[in-house]
Chains A and B, each alone.
Chain A
Amino acid sequence: MTEMETLQQDLLKQVENASNLAELDAVRVSVLGKKGIITEKMKTLGSMQPEERKVAGQQFNLLKEAVANAIESKKQSLEDAEINARLAKEAVDITLPVRPETQGRIHPLYQTYDEVIAIFGQMGFELAEGPDIEDDFHNFTALNTPKNHPARQMQDTFYLQAEENGERFIVRTQTSAVQIRTMEEKKPPIRIIVPGRTYRCDYDATHAPMFHQVEGLVVDTVTNMAHLKGCLIEFVKTFFELDKVPVRFRPSFFPFTEPSAEMDIGCSRQNGELKIGEGNDWLEILGCGMVHPNVLKACNIDPEVYQGFAFGIGLDRLAMLKYAIPDLRTFFESDLRWMKHYGFVPLDIPSVGAGLSMTGGNKR
């Protein structure tokens, strides 16, 4: 073994033996530093003969390169070891629960409300609203329900205490009152839906003293009962997100429409479970009809020229049916567990284009 070979072996060993970055750096200085072994050797080249210098220079450079490479690779491995040791120390129990976040909820009734608006919206219906406290004219008389009309007994009305002049206002029994307010304010063509709170003096498992309706009204010169049927069938299909829903129209009576109808949708009831869209049973979901000429007259609209339809849907009932919520009363009980379970996450915004509802899973 030549002298150079021995030296190289010795230096590489020193590098290998360095146990941390500081020791390695000390080796580097002692070998490659200003006064390092190799540096010193390089200095001797100047005093050599050209032939000798050529050979020695080559040898020194090879030696330097070998040692420098060794130092670099040793450094890498020492650094890796150091960071690995630190990371090992930093390890945590990743099974610990995450920091708490609260995710709010939209009430199922309002989710339904937004769905209904989305559906009728793309059919060109605009949203209208009216006051909860109403006068007799808008809630009854103009809707072809004069005083002493037996139809007034169909609804148990809440009355406010009478004023000093004897006038007595009511809490509206139906959103239909907004039909009148709308027709008083604007001329046909009219195409509106009216969602809102409604009130009746009735309270049991299927009736709440306050509930929600969506009223629809179309008045123009051409819309007839076949359009009504088309409109509502499209609505139920879109709302229940089914390609086919069996539908039945039955004659019925409402003072403010004629002809009047009730609409049933096909369903099955088996083992206490209700399925919409299949089976041999019928489920009543809304009342509708052609606007009664007396209603148009009450709003100074000529029934010989204008005609149209109206419908009224119970929003609470729609929500119960679609989302299988068993008891109406629970809607109004503000129980946090109920709201969390039946409520919708705020970013689940209904859209006809995107698909009306998400799957309803994965709520936190």
Chain B
Amino acid sequence: MKFTLSWLKDYLDTNATVEELSERLTAIGLEIEEIIDPLAAISNLKVVSVDECVAHPNSDHLHILKVNTGKEVLQIVCGAPNARVGMKGILARVGDYIPSFGQKLEKGKIRGVESNGMMCAEDELGVGPDHTGIIECPADAVVGASITTIYPSDPVFDVSITPNRGDCMSVYGIARDLAAAGVGTLKPLYDASKPLVNTTFKSAIVLKNEALEIGAPYFTLREIKNVKNCPAPKWMQDRLTAIGLRPISALVDVTNYFNITFGRPLHVFDADKVKGTITVRSAKEGEKLLALDGKEYTLSDGMVVIADDNGAESIAGIMGGEVSGCSDDTTRVLLESAYFTSEAIAKTGQKLFLTSDSRQRFERGIDPHATIEMYGSNMAAKMIVDLCGGEVSEIIVTGAEPENAPAINFDPKRVLKLCGVDVDKATCADLLKKIGCEVVDQGETLKVTRPTWRSDITGTHDLVEEILRLYGYDKLPEIPMSRPNGVHGILQPKQRREAAVRRAMANRGAYQTITWSFMSSKDAELFRTAEPVLIANPISADLNEMRPSVVPNLVNAARSNITKGMMNGSIFEVGPQFFGFHPKEQETVACLMRFGNETDRHWAESVRAYDVFDAKADALAVIDAAEGPSSVQIAREAPSWYHPGRSGAIKIGKTVLAYFGELHPKVLKAMDVKTNVCVCEVFLDRLPMPKKKAGKGMKVLKMSAFTPIMRDFAFISPINVDVEKFIGAIKNVDKQLITDVSVFDVYVGEKLGEDKKSIALQVTLQPMEKTMTDDEIESISRRIIGAVQAATGASLRA
């Protein structure tokens, strides 16, 4: 909501400065977005008189002036045709800011003559359109005074109005609220002792209102004949221009001016362009209307329109129609002033995707009492007649002003209860009266009737807010929160687990990233296992689907880093992925991706490309960090986006806890990534919660007094036997004694034959009771070999 200072002062009698107004507006909830003062940047320019004016020796149009600033006399070169001795003008001196130049004035010589400044034209300073010559100040202008004595400063206020404050969608409303807050007094709208308009005839127009129940409970029209449309007066044009509206003609500008000044939407039809009976009715399904914005709208049943025999002429409360609009030739108008309900206007506006100043005001609720009286039809008719002449008809009224809401029985103690600040009953009553409430003291409570312009006030809590607002939010005391008894964790187990996983992944050298929860269907379809969850109104075509997986976003992140020359990296995200359209059809995934090599080339290390085993290690580490199960199965199964031979799943029973592996080359190609990428996806919500234990005490540690014994075994087996089988078979030989089995060599090569591999394992034996004898060691070694042979078909390597 924009307005100028002088506009506000039409209605508010105050000496407050711009700064004071700004501070008070913000303090009462009318937040200042910006104050634009076109004169602020040039207020140091001064009125000067021209004492001497001679022709420039080297020019046929330039003059050399001696100008008097009141303190000194300066030499100025000037090219304006109106420069002459005795005139008063505005001088910009060296170093002064010139808006049209966008910079400060520099000292210079013009055709060999020194010039210590510039005599300014209106357009150069942005104070007016004139560029025919330099500014001519009135003869009584004071030499040495600021330019603001010639062009009074009229700063533009831009105030952000919250949706509940429909009453402040107007200059008058803001003045009224400032007055309530003690900043000046509200001026009367007009001299109430005299009638605003003399109605001289009864219009022949027939008006029918069929929309009383569907959004137009109160609708009035009046005819004004013999008007002469013309441009609006300069002061009105200046104000409209200052807030970004384009002046059109007096008849149209009056409606815009009322909208901004009083929050009173009006419409003016050209009476000679409407035909037959005027009907306020529901639109017919599919009915079309060319609106004043030049667009055609297709209306539907339930939208209120103002129609004539030709059909809809205006969308009620939102926008008029092109056909019946006023033009320069208009001589007879119908002035509409109505109260439309905010529900009806909001519904229609949303359906049509059509917004306007008028809609904004109706939607937030306008003052129904100001339909005819106050700043309603009478006052508007007077303004039209004042500007365009003409005769005013009697008003034609349908429906009636809606009744105000019933009084609220208000207990002033609620202020203390809700706000913690004690405002006594008398002060409450006083503050409520200031905003226009009718207040009756009933002893314990107050009977409060809201003013007609405050439709947002519906109950006790609204009154509490109004009282606190005017009493001052700055007077709220500051009470610390009571502390809960005892110490307890505030995280649910699930959240604690996610926090641990994030730190664990970073601890493994990966960088945490956050990517959009949506992505392009083009990428998503490579990673989708369920129906796509599409967004109806995506912000762009490549963010149109709720992500079925986090992986594609990380692939794109990898590619973008590679493009910028960062060839190696590890990144992770912990966040949601979606498998349905409904709330909760999502799960939390911890996804870690590594691309390129583990390190750059280094004098002490060999370069190693990330592979499936990095992904597997990451997946297992995440499960550990989340306190997931310590015993899991590794299965040779993974979705289509993985390399089928270099990927797998981590499961318990049938539940997949994680996938890991290298990405499928086809997927990488489709997403234009030219390096190796491995990834793990751990589905945190599927991990079983660790069992709750009674205390935090740990299991007793048993340490053997005897040295562990290491024995190495090498087997040759068919190539397709999993190493896991070897390890399982060995461990099963003696679960107490065999504490570790590690694989220290895997060999495949010609020497063994194509379908064979060699596996070397180190087995750790940890005796607990006594040292093992050679015979005992020999015996268990034989059992290990036997068990491996039975389980895998391998033979001991010779």
Contacts and interface: CB of A to CB of B under 8 A. Distances in A.
B516 A104 contact: no
Nearest to A221: B417
A252 to B, nearest CB: 6
10 contacts: A99-B605, A104-B510, A133-B533, A148-B342, A151-B163, A160-B533, A251-B27, A334-B554, A339-B511, A346-B507
Nearest to B562: A336
Contacts of B483: 123-124
Given A150-B346, A201-B539, A171 B507 contact: no
The 4 tightest CB contacts between A and B, nearest first, are A226-B420, A251-B29, A102-B509, A253-B162
B333 interface: no
Given A107-B512, A290-B419, 11 more contacts: A104-B507, A109-B514, A135-B583, A148-B343, A171-B517, A226-B420, A227-B479, A251-B28, A253-B165, A343-B512, A345-B506
Interface stretch (B53-61, B143-151, B386-394, B489-497): B489-497
Contacts of A129: 492, 494-495
B576 A224 contact: no
Contacts of B599: 100
Contact of A150 (B364, B418, B477, B479): B364
Interface in A119-146: 120-121, 123-127, 129-135, 138
Interface of B: 26-29, 31, 162-165, 342-343, 346-347, 350, 363-364, 417-421, 459, 461-462, 464-465, 468-469, 473-474, 476-484, 490-492, 494-495, 499, 502-518, 533-540, 543, 546, 554, 557, 560-561, 564, 566, 569-571, 575-576, 578, 581-586, 599-600, 602-605
A233 interface: yes
A43 interface: no
Contacts of B163: 149-151, 153-154, 253, 255
A161 interface: yes
A310 to B, nearest CB: 13
B419 A225 contact: yes
Contacts of A163: 581
A165 B468 CA distance: 46
A293 B516 CA distance: 35
Given A105-B512, A127-B492, A335-B561, A158 B537 contact: yes
A322 interface: no
A261 interface: yes
A259 interface: yes
Interface residues of A, number: 93
A103 B513 CA distance: 15
Contacts of B508: 104
Interface in A328-354: 331-337, 339-340, 343, 345-347, 349
Given A124-B483, A133-B583, A201-B537, A336 B476 contact: no
Nearest to A103: B509
A208 to B, nearest CB: 9
B464 A259 contact: yes
Nearest to B499: A114
Interface in A195-235: 197, 199, 201-203, 209-210, 218, 224-227, 229-231, 233-234
Contacts of B586: 131-133
Contacts of A199: 517
A292 B461 contact: yes
A152 to B, nearest CB: 8
A110 interface: yes
B27 A250 contact: yes
A229 B478 contact: yes
- Max count, chain B CB within 10 A of own CB: residue among A103, A105, A260: A105
B509 A197 contact: no
Contacts of B482: 124
Where chain A touches its partner, the secondary structure class is mixed
A242 interface: no
Given A131-B584, A201-B537, A230 B509 contact: no
A224 B474 contact: no
Contacts of A88: none
A362 to B, nearest CB: 16
Contacts of A60: none
A345 to B, nearest CB: 8
Nearest to B543: A209
Contacts of B581: 133, 160-161, 163, 169
Given A138-B583, A151-B163, A340 B499 contact: no
A105 B502 CA distance: 9
A262 B537 CA distance: 30
- Max count, chain A CB within 10 A of own CB: residue among B342, B484, B543: B484
Given A107-B512, A117-B491, A346-B506, A258 B461 contact: yes
A269 interface: no
B639 to A, nearest CB: 22
A244 interface: no
A335 B564 contact: yes
A117 B499 CA distance: 11
Contacts of A105: 506, 511-512
- Max count, chain B CB within 10 A of own CB: residue among A107, A133, A290: A133
A159 interface: yes
A334 B515 contact: yes
A123 B515 contact: no
A104 B505 contact: yes
Nearest to A292: B461
A174 interface: no
Contact of B566 (A106, A337, A347): A337
B605 to A, nearest CB: 6
A125 B490 contact: yes
A332 B539 CA distance: 16
Given A104-B509, A199-B517, A248-B474, A127 B495 contact: yes
A150 B346 CA distance: 7
Contacts of A201: 537, 539
Contacts of A231: 480-481
B512 A150 contact: no
Nearest to B535: A158
Contact of A253 (B164, B517, B566): B164
A340 B582 CA distance: 37
A124 B571 contact: no
B535 A171 contact: yes
A162 interface: yes
B299 to A, nearest CB: 17
A126 B420 CA distance: 24
A285 to B, nearest CB: 14
A91 interface: no
A227 B477 CA distance: 8
A104 B417 CA distance: 50
A168 to B, nearest CB: 7
B571 A339 contact: yes
Contacts of B510: 104
B477 A253 contact: no
A345 B505 CA distance: 11
A240 interface: no
Nearest to B503: A346
A176 interface: no
Contacts of B578: 132-133
A150 B491 contact: no
